[in-house]
Amino acid sequence: MSKSKNPNQSLDDKERDKPLTIHEFERIAQTKLTQQVWNYYVSGADEQMAIKRNRDAYDKLVLRPRVFRDVSQIDTTTVLFGKKFDFPVGVSPSAMQKLVGGEGEVDVARAVASRGTFMILSSNSTSPLEDVINAAGPNPDTADFWFQIYVSQDRGKSAKLIKRAEAENSVAQLLTLGPTAAGFKALAVTVDTPVLGNRINERKTQLVLPSNLTLPNLDDPDPDKANKPSLNRDLLNALNRQEAGRIAEVAKKRGLLNDASLTWHETLPWIRQQTSKMKIVVKGVMTAEDALLAIQNGADAIVVSNHGGRQLDSVASTIEALPEIVDVVKGRVPVLIDGGITRGSDVFKALALGADFCLIGRPALWGLAYDGVEGVKMVLDVLERELSRTMALMGARNVGEIEKSMLGVEKRDGFGIAKL
Amino acid present at 335: V
- By the 8 A CB rule, do 161 and 123 touch? yes
Distance from C-alpha of 360 to C-alpha of 213, rounded to nearest angstrom: 24
What is the rounded distance in angstroms from the CA atom of residue 351 to the CA atom of residue 346? 9
Kindly state the helix (H) or strand (E) to which residue 159 belongs, with its residue range: helix 155-176
How many whole angstroms separate alpha carbon 291 and alpha carbon 296?
A: 9
Biggest alpha carbon–alpha carbon distance for the chain:
83
Is the separation of the CB atoms in 330 and 301 below 8 Å? Answer: no
Ramachandran class of 197: left when φ > 0, alpha when ψ lies in -120 to 50, beta otherwise: beta
Active site residue 23: no
Beta-strand ranges (E) seen in 306-406 are 335-338, 357-360
In this structure, the number of other CB atoms found within 10 A of the CB of residue 139 comes to 11
Q: Which of 307, 310, 349, 377 is catalytic?
A: 307
Contact 29, 342 (CB under 8 A): no
- The letter for the amino acid at 394 is M
Give me the count of residues in the chain: 420
Which residues carry out catalysis? 307
